[in-house]
Structure 1
Amino acid sequence: MWRNANYPERKKTTMATVVEMSPTSEQSEFVLGTPVNKKTPALKVPSLCSMRYGIAFVTHFCNFTLMAQNSIVSITMVAMVNNTDHPPYLNSSTEQLPAGLSGDQHEASKHLSIKAPVYNWSPQTQGIIFSSVQYGMMLMQGPGGYLAGKIGTKKVVGIALLGTSLLTLCIPLAANLGLVFLLATRAVQGLMQGIGYGGQFALWQKWAPPNERSRLCTIALSGMTLGIFTVLLVGGIISEALGWPFVFYSFGAGGVLCSLLWFILIYDDPVSHPWISGPEREYILSSLNQQFSSEKQPLPIKAMLKSLPLWSMCLCTMTHQWLVNTFVMYTPTYISSVFKVNIRDNGFLSSLPFIVAWVLGILGGQLADFLLSKNFRLITVRKFITLLGNTPPAALIAALPYIQSSYITTIIFLTISCGLCPLCQAGVYINALDIAPRYASILMGTSRGLAHSSAVLVPIVAGFFLNQDAEFGWRNFFFVVFAVHLLGLIIYLVFGKADVQEWAREGKLTRL
């Protein structure tokens, strides 16, 4: 386990602050309702073979399920739409694809339509379908974090996961009933998924020691990337073999099983967990002894609204999600429109960037904690990791329209660009745990909710450009993504902080 070399010194400083704020200088603090001796030395406890890492891996599979269900339409849309009515643009200079990757899309559409219905949806209609699930995601992540802080992450996320899984099973029926039913079903599913995403962050307020936050959070969040990879890879195969409805049936049923696993294994805090070891419980509680409990204090909304570090974090998260949602929603469509590959091979090619992103996302957390162990400042690490996860991906995606004459170069650029994006999971995405650990669940949920406004805007903007000009639509769209992306990064590099803000400290009560 990587260990921060200056962690004991920081812990000592933190303890001194607690004594000054306390009315008495007693030798114990109550954390999560349990007395913790402040003079207890740091305990050596296992890392990977521990309950907190077990919680992280279960949350990993929860995020895997939520993101897979959210992204199914990205790959099934290729099979759900009558492509013969909307011929894709193919650059005449594009090099010939390998044997087996190219094929007659008209014949492929006829073959797929025998197994499942095919719909005549325009690119703008497809954009509306893509974005319909995102409205609920945008609206409910903040409330999801608040609810989890009040009634518990176990109940909030478990119910949300079960709800979205049942709705996933209903998507094929809703599509057959009509576009309005499909949009309504996906909108309600988005509400459930928003609660699930936003509610999970309350776990890390109570389970993640400060020197392990990057690793634990990136392990949990990387499940999203693995979910996208799996649904793109397996979704194409299932669509071609059984028909696109079975993609929804498969991941819906898997989600129901995952929700049962969640209810059995997840507990809201170390105190209530029946299987955690005594040393690990003491280690977690003693490391968090100044970060609880905000429930009895009013939320300092006025101070939050004036906080530039908080706004910079939210804006950078939102603009980064522009790029992420572009990859999630339009990688299969871009490959299909430029290279005319069948759905099975499209799924394979589209999934490659996400398996790289999954690996690099986990390694990013290790890199962040390693740099901290080498005495790098926390804000330096957060900004450096965020810079790596922003600048190269944005530059590479802007270059895609100029290299589409080579499918190999295109796939390489897509893979590198998408692969580097999850590094931000150890940067700006968990910055709320640094600047306001007491309010981290609601702040992380709210910032992710605001970020999901990009998931609503991306398909609308993309549909506008692609409807106007088939040849230059992709280029114009990618330039807009690049510009938005760069703006958010600059704001975070200038105004981002990593120290606990005054309005988030225990001794300061800020009222409306």
Structure 2
Amino acid sequence: MALPSGYSINSAAANDSKNTEPLIGSVEVPPRCCSARFNLASMIFLGFTMVYVLRVNLSVAIVAMVNNTAPDPAGNHSVIDICPLPSGHKNTSDNFQQPAGVPQYNWDSKTQGWLLGAFFFGYLCTQIPGGYLAGQYGGKIFLGLGVLCTAVLTLLTPLAAKWGSYWLFALRVLEGFGEGVTYPAMMALWTRWAPPLERSRLTTLSASGGNFGAFVALLLTGYICQMLGWPAVFYICGSAGCLWAVFWFIFVSDDPRTHRRISEEERDYIINSIGPQGTGHGWSLPFLSMVLSIHLWAIFITQMCSTWAFYTLLTSLPTYMNVILHFDLQTNGFLSSLPYLGSGLSVWLSGVAADALIERRVFSVTVVRKIFTLVGLLMPSVFLVAVIYAGCNHILIVTFLTLSLTLGGCNTAGVFINQIDIAPRYAGFLFGITNTFGSIPGAVAPIVTGYFTEDHTLAGWAKVFWVAAGINAGGAVIYTLFGSGRVQPWALTEEERAEAERNRNRSISH
């Protein structure tokens, strides 16, 4: 069955009842393999691989950048080695020798917390304006420039560190400023490119690049640090980001209407299935309706809760592996990376499963989003608490952390992409707001972790995991109560409102 001309899967339901969701019917889908939309998803996947490589590299490199054998500047804190060394490992966690001429710095745990959180101070600033402008002009330019600018700044990291921690802090803030537009730009692209029956798989395939990037960065950074010295990490990562940007600007298009290599069949399928929602939102926005939308607030708050645990582990897990579990730098990087490999697979598989449930009408969009959000928030909380009770059992701790982050990936097929369900036309702008809320933990969590763990004890790290688990569980409750998958009335175009009114009149007359 092909889509009739002018038909949109996003069309509003004739019944405007709050309990009614538009039905998403089956349509004839052009081949997905080698299609323009899946090629775009692959390019975005690689782009977000670079986004996270550029973001995460400092988390492992800082272990090598800091001279742990230097006296504590505060003079009153000592490392309490409660956990024994891992079986078969020598105690090399206290001093990572760097090649001759590579500097190391005397930064205490609070300074390291501020440096690891610095990125997010800039990241918070450009989410909303980036989403707004990407929704108007398209996401290609903003995603491409966001990665390119961050890559160029990454090349300057060794110089900034040489000048001092304040300079490095400022540089990381600027890197966050550049990357802040990337996720809203992705959502703006999928507003124009993702048919509703493929939203989950396309968006999660793209977003899983972030998890893969974290995996690659954590896996390779430790090895590069030991073999070539920590400055090489930033030179290699920055160069790779610049190279990706070249291919992005050559091959990617903002809209299927302007793509030079798309088939006519695929172009018509995308345009007709998305309908009027696949256009720019214009300069005016329904701000008051957005502010008063309880479903939107549920997304904002839940996203902020879900990212606390994610960013806590993303920025601080290598330090935990080093200080508490005493893994050497290469083992540290490998074990810190494992959870993100599992999470990346979980993100992609959950997207495929969510689309299958919606397409086969097993559950409504609302129920599907809530199921994956519950799994992606509650189960990681359980395993974070399990880490606390695992004590110093290295195998159990690594297993529980891996399971926690792996199951957390299911959240991507839930609340993470919910903006494009309730307001497709404004998805880029709304994701900018959502990611602003979601990025607050990125700035705060490493600082809180630094204060909790300044004595380097198991009790301090237990506080870190308890707080993350509790915040996760709170987000699950909020979204279960107030989340929705319906297109909101304030998000409809004039054309869709007129169509809904005609359908309502027809139902009344019958």
Question: TM-score surpassing 0.5?
Answer: yes
Q: What is the aligned counterpart of 1:54 among 32, 39, 46? A: 39
Alignment check: 8 A CA contact 2:99 2:228 kept: no
Alignment check: 8 A CA contact 1:143 1:198 kept: no
Aligned-residue CA RMSD (Å)? 2.2
Alpha-carbon deviation of 1:112?
1.9
Query: Which residue number in structure 2 is paired with residue 91 of structure 1?
Result: 82
Q: What is the aligned counterpart of 2:380 among 381, 385, 393? A: 393
Alignment check: 8 A CA contact 1:338 1:404 kept: no
1:6-46 CA distances to partner (integer Å, 9 max, x unpaired)? x99xx68865869x9xxxxxxxxxxxxxxxxxxxx944311
Q: What is the aligned counterpart of 2:350 among 359, 364, 371? A: 364
Query: Which residue number in structure 1 is paired with residue 308 of structure 2?
Result: 322
Q: Find out whether 1:420 has 2:411 as its counterpart.
A: no
1:307/1:408 CA distance change after superposition, 3 Å? same
Alpha-carbon deviation of 1:411?
0.7
Q: What is the aligned counterpart of 1:258 among 244, 247, 262? A: 244
Alpha-carbon deviation of 1:390?
0.8
Query: Which residue number in structure 1 is paired with residue 447 of structure 2?
Result: 460
Query: Which residue number in structure 1 is paired with residue 143 of structure 2?
Result: 157
1:94-105 matched pairs, under 5 angstroms: 94=84, 97-99=86-88, 101-105=89-93
Alpha-carbon deviation of 1:193?
0.6
What one-letter code is carried by the residue in structure 2 that aligns with 1:325?
A: Y
Alignment check: 8 A CA contact 2:195 2:270 kept: yes
Alignment check: 8 A CA contact 2:9 2:273 kept: no
What one-letter code is carried by the residue in structure 2 that aligns with 1:180?
A: Y
1:110-135 CA distances to partner (integer Å, 9 max, x unpaired)? x2263521111111100100111111
Q: What is the aligned counterpart of 1:352 among 333, 338, 341? A: 338
Secondary structure of 1:48's aligned partner: coil
Query: Which residue number in structure 1 is paired with residue 371 of structure 2?
Result: 384
1:167-194 CA distances to partner (integer Å, 9 max, x unpaired)? 0000011000111211111111110010
Alpha-carbon deviation of 1:300?
0.5
Query: Which residue number in structure 1 is paired with residue 22 of structure 2?
Result: none
Query: Which residue number in structure 1 is paired with residue 111 of structure 2?
Result: 125
Query: Which residue number in structure 2 is paired with residue 190 of structure 1?
Result: 176
Secondary structure of 2:34's aligned partner: coil
What one-letter code is carried by the residue in structure 2 that aligns with 1:370?
A: A
Secondary structure of 2:178's aligned partner: helix
Alignment check: 8 A CA contact 1:158 1:262 kept: yes
Secondary structure of 1:291's aligned partner: helix
Query: Which residue number in structure 2 is paired with residue 73 of structure 1?
Result: 58
What one-letter code is carried by the residue in structure 1 that aligns with 2:68?
A: N
Q: What is the aligned counterpart of 1:45 among 30, 36, 52? A: 30
Alpha-carbon deviation of 1:157?
1.6
1:223/1:411 CA distance change after superposition, 3 Å? same
**In structure 2, C-alpha distance between the alignment counterparts of 1:291 and 1:447, rounded to whole Å:** 20
Q: What is the aligned counterpart of 1:166 among 152, 161, 170? A: 152
Alignment check: 8 A CA contact 1:146 1:199 kept: no
1:182-236 CA distances to partner (integer Å, 9 max, x unpaired)? 1111111110010223222110000000000000000000000000000111001
**In structure 2, C-alpha distance between the alignment counterparts of 1:417 and 1:72, rounded to whole Å:** 21
Alignment check: 8 A CA contact 1:339 1:407 kept: yes
Query: Which residue number in structure 1 is paired with residue 503 of structure 2?
Result: none
Secondary structure of 2:258's aligned partner: coil
Query: Which residue number in structure 1 is paired with residue 231 of structure 2?
Result: 245
What one-letter code is carried by the residue in structure 2 that aligns with 1:70?
A: R
53-62 vs 151-160, greater mean Cα deviation? 151-160
Alignment check: 8 A CA contact 2:298 2:478 kept: yes
> In percent, how many aligned pairs have the same letter?
36
**In structure 2, C-alpha distance between the alignment counterparts of 1:136 and 1:16, rounded to whole Å:** 38
Alpha-carbon deviation of 1:292?
4.2
* Unaligned residue ranges in structure 2 (runs of 5+): 17-25, 73-77, 499-510
Secondary structure of 1:119's aligned partner: coil
Query: Which residue number in structure 2 is paired with residue 114 of structure 1?
Result: 100
Query: Which residue number in structure 2 is paired with residue 485 of structure 1?
Result: 472
What one-letter code is carried by the residue in structure 1 that aligns with 2:92?
A: D
Alignment check: 8 A CA contact 2:225 2:233 kept: yes
Q: What is the aligned counterpart of 1:63 among 36, 42, 48? A: 48
Secondary structure of 1:339's aligned partner: coil
What one-letter code is carried by the residue in structure 1 that aligns with 2:472?
A: H
1:328-348 CA distances to partner (integer Å, 9 max, x unpaired)? 111111111122111111111
**In structure 2, C-alpha distance between the alignment counterparts of 1:172 and 1:62, rounded to whole Å:** 23
1:349/1:282 CA distance change after superposition, 3 Å? same
Number of residue-to-residue matches in the alignment: 476
Alpha-carbon deviation of 1:88?
4.2
1:212/1:292 CA distance change after superposition, 3 Å? closer
Query: Which residue number in structure 2 is paired with residue 33 of structure 1?
Result: none
**In structure 2, C-alpha distance between the alignment counterparts of 1:79 and 1:337, rounded to whole Å:** 13
Secondary structure of 2:86's aligned partner: coil
1:265-302 CA distances to partner (integer Å, 9 max, x unpaired)? 11001001000000000000000113144534720001
**In structure 2, C-alpha distance between the alignment counterparts of 1:193 and 1:12, rounded to whole Å:** 33
1:402/1:102 CA distance change after superposition, 3 Å? farther
What one-letter code is carried by the residue in structure 2 that aligns with 1:323?
A: A
144-153 vs 262-271, greater mean Cα deviation? 144-153
